[in-house]
A and B are shown apart, each in its own frame.
Chain A
Amino acid sequence: MTVWISYLDQILLYAALALSLNLLLGYAGQVSVAHAAFGAIGGYTMAYTTQAHGWNFLLGTALGMVIAFVIGTIVALPALKLTVEYLILLTLGVSSVILGLVVAIPSLGGTYGLINLPAVDLFGWHLRSPTDWLIPSGVAMVLVYAVCHRIGESPAGRVLKGIREDPVATGALGKNVFAYKVAVFGLTSALAAFAGALIAGWLRLATPGVFGFSFSLTVFAIVIFGGMANLTGTVVGAAIVVLLEPILERVIDLEPAKAGYVELIVYGLALAVLMRLRPQGALPEGFSVWGLLRGRRQSTGRIEMVADWVPTTVQRVVEHDPAHEEPTLEEEQRREHAWHDAPVVLQTKGVSKRFGGIIAADELDIELRRGTITALVGPNGAGKTTVFNLLTGAVAPDAGSILLHGEELVGLQPHQIARRGMVRSFQDVRLFNRLSCLQNVMLAVQGQPGEHAGKLFLSPRAVDRAEQETRERALAWLRFVGMGEFAAVPAGALSYGQTKLVSLARVLATEADVLLLDEPASGIDTKWVDTMLDLIEQVRDQGRTVCVVEHNLHVVGRLADHTYFMELGRITAQGTIAELTSSPRLAEVYFGT
C-alpha cells in the first residue's frame, strides 16, 4: 500500500513540474528540453542550503525559484528570434551547461550529488513517510495548476496562444511578443524549480541522475501524452507515465531488471505511435473534464463549412447606395477633391529600403488622410507589401521619416506602432488557426487588464469584468462582418473568404485610426467581394483612415479616393484611378500589354 502512496506522491510532483512546462510548450509554443535542469536548480539550491547551512526548506526553495527565474529570463532573451530548431538546441545546450556545472562544483557533491538530506520540516512537521508527503505534494500540484490555469486561460494566455500560432501577427496587433516570451520563460523556470525542490525533498537527495536529460524527456513526454495546452491532461499524463512501470511489472510479470527496459521501450514506442494516431494527446486543447461532467458541449473538433455559405447578417451603418458600384468620372473627381481637403494622418518622407542590391522602396512620399481610402497599386514586385512592412515597423527603413499624427514611427517596434493606432492586415491572412474566431478577434482588443500579470492575480474581479466587455466587443465586430454565428468555430476550419472577413474583424477590433489592408478582396469568391467592399466603405464612413493594396482595378476604382501607382519601389504617379488607367505607359507597365 505504501508503494502506491509513494507512486501517488510521484504523480503529483511530476505533474507539478510538467504543468509548468505545459504553460511554456502548450500555450506559448516554446519548446524547452531544459525544464528538468531548472528543476535541478530548485532541487540543488534547496538541498545545499538546508544541508550545508541549515536553512528552512521553504526558504531554500524560494531561493532556488529566484535563481531559476533569473537564469530562465536570461535564456529567454536570445530565444526571441530563434526558430523552433534553434530553441531546442539552445535549451539542450543550457540544460547541459547547468548539469555540467552542477557535477563540476565539488560542494554540490560532484557526480554523486547531495544525498541523505534531512527530512523536510514544514512548520515543525517532519515529513518522513510517503503518506506525510501526500498533502504537501497535493498542495504543490494544485498551486502550480492554479497559477498555470489562471495565466493560461486568461487574456494573457490568449496572447501566448497567439504567439504560438503566429508571433508576427500577434505583434502586429500591439502585443509585446518579446516581453511575453521572456516572462513566460522566467515564470515557468521558477515553477519548475519549485517542483524540483519538492522532488528533491521527497527523495531526500539531489543528484545529477535524478534531474538528468532523461528526466527532461520524461517531463516532456508527460506533457505530450496528456495533451498540450490542457492542464488536466498533464495530470493524467503524469499518472500514465509514472504508473507504466508498476503496471508493467505486475501485469507482464517480468523480472524487475528487465521490466525497466521493457517499460522504456513501451514508453518510447508509445510516444512515436501517439504522435501518429493522437498528436493532440489524451485530453486535447479546450477539452474540459468538468465541462463534460456538467454536460457542456465540447467544441474541439474541426467543423467543415458549407462551401456556398454567404454572410447574411451584415449590419449596415449607412444605406447601401448602388451608385457606389461603378463611380462616374465626376464622382471620382469629387472624391479626389475630398481627399485633398481631408487632414493628413500619416505622412512618409523619403522612406527608402534596400535589400542587398534590390531597391524595395526608393524615396517614398505617401500621405494617408482621415476618412478616406488611399489605394496602392502597381505590378507584382513593385514593393507594395514592403511599404506596409515599413509603415508598421516589421522592416526598418534605411532612411526617411514616417509620421503618424506628427509622431515619428521609425525606430519603433511593430507592437508599439500598432498601439499608436496603425494596424495592418496580411495578404496571407494569418489568423490564429487553433483559436476560435471569437478568440481571434478578442486578441485584437486593446488595453485588456487581464494581459498584465499583476492585475490578473490581484484584481481578478476587474479582469473578469473587462473580459466580459472584450467578449461583447469582439462579438460585435464579428457580427459587423457577418461572421457572428462562427464565433466558436476554430479559424482553421473556415473557408478562405471567411478568413478574410474574420481578419478584417480582427483589424477593426483594434479600433485603430489607420488601417492598412493588404489585398482584402483578392482570392475570394466574387459574391463575397461586394460584402467586403461594403464593409471597407462603412469603415471609411466612420471616419477612419484606410489604405489598401489591391490588384483588382475594379475594386480600386470603387474604393479609392486617391491612388498611388508604384513601380520598382518608386511612386511614379498618383491621382484618381481613371487618370492612372488612361495613361498608356502605366497601363503597359500594369497589364504588360
Chain B
Amino acid sequence: MKKLNKLSIWGKIIGVGLALSVSQHALAQVHEFKLENGMKVLVKEDHRAPVVVSQIWYKVGAGYEHNGITGVSHVLEHMMFKGTPKHPAGEFSRIIAEHGGRENAFTSRDYTAYFQQLEKSRLPISFEMEADRMRNLTLPEDQFKKELDVVKEERRMRYEDKPRSLTHEQFIATAFTSSPYQHPIIGWMNDLDNMQVEDLSDWYQRWYAPNNATLVVVGDVKADEVFELANKYFAVIPAGKVAISKPRLDAPQRGQRRITVSVPAKLPYLVMGYKVPVLKTAAEEWEPYALEVLAGILSGTNSSRFPKRLVRGQQIAAGVDVGYNPYSMHDDLFTIDATPVGDHSVAEIEKAINAQLKLIKEEKVSKAELDRIKAQVVASKVYEKDSVFYQAMQMGTLETVGLGWQRMDEYSAKVKQITSEQIQQVAKKYLLADQLTVAILDPLPLETKPRKKILNIKH
C-alpha cells in the first residue's frame, strides 16, 4: 500500500486482489451544532480547493402537500428569489453573482433546499441573505403572477411535451393511492392555474423557520468559525411553530395495476414499479440495503444483468434501468423502465424482465456479481469526495428526511454486509405481482395533433 500518510486523511484503501475495503477512518468529520432556536448546523471541512458550498434545507416538499395545492412548495421556492424588504426582487441573485457565486435551489418530494457556491471568504454573504429570506419574504402579487407563468412553462418543458416524462407522471399517480408521493413535485396544471399568493404565504409561515431547517456547509472552512457565523446570522431568528406531520401511509394495494398512456411519440416505453420500504420505514434495516444491491445487480453498470442479458444477450431492449432510493421519507417504488429495440414489443420486454426477476428469486447471485457491486460502492465513496456539493447533498438529504447524516458513513459497510441470501429474500418478499404497477406508453402518431384534446392543456 502506498502513501498511507496521505490516505489517512481520507481513508485507507486496503487492496487485496479484488477484496476492497475502506476502513472506518475514511469518515471525514462532520461537525454538528444546534442553535438555541433549534436550527441544526452541519459542517464538513474539505480543504482541497478554496471554495465553500452552503445549503439550507427545509423539511418541506411536495410530499407535505395535498390535492388542491400541489406544486406549492416548488412555486414558493421560485418566489424565494423575489425579495424581502431589505433585498428587493433579484437582489439576492445580483449580490451572489457579484461575488462570483453560483446559487440555485431545488425542491423534492421530501425537502426544499437553497444553495450558494462561493470562494471561501464570502460565506457570510450567503448566511446574511438566507437568514433574511427565512422569515422576511414579501411575496408581491405581481411578481407571483409572472413567476407562476414561469413555473407553468417549466412544467410544459419538463413534462407536457415529453412522452416518457408524461408516462412516468401517470405511472406514479397510478401506483400510489393516498401516499403524498402520488402527485408530481411540480404540481398538476390545474392546481397551478388556480394557485393564489395566499397559498404561498400560508406555506411559508408554516414551514420556514429555523427549527425546521438544517444548514449544511462543506468546503475550505473551519467548523468553529462557521458555527460562529451561523450563530451571528441565524440565532436571532425566533423559533417558529412547526406542525408535526401526520403519517401518510399509502392505502394497501389490492392487486396489480396496469395503465396505457397514449400520447404522440415515436417509441413505446415500459415502466414497472413494486412497492418497497426505505430506510426510514423498513422494519428490518438491512432490507433497503439489500434492495439497493439488487438494483445494482440488475442495472447500474455495464456488467449488470439487464445490460448484459437483455440489451446485449437477447437484444430485445435499447436500455433497461432500475431505480430505487433508500433515502426517501415514505415507502417508495422499486422501478424498472425499458425501451424495446428492433421489432420487439413492450410485452416481450416485460416477459424477459419477469424471467430475470424470477431467476433472482430462485437462484442466488454469484459471488463475482456481488463483489463487483461492492467494489463499485467502495470506489464511489472515494470518488464522491471529488465534489463538495455532492457531500453536502448527502448530509442535507439524510438529515432532512430524519435519518441523520451519520447514515452516510455507514453506507459502504452496510452494503458490504449484504449476502446473496438477503437479496433473494427481499426479491421474494417485495417483487410481488399484486404489488406491481405497470405503465405502457402506446405512441400516437406525431404527425396528427390530438394532443390538446387529450391533455386539456390550458394556455
Do A and B come from the same complex?
no
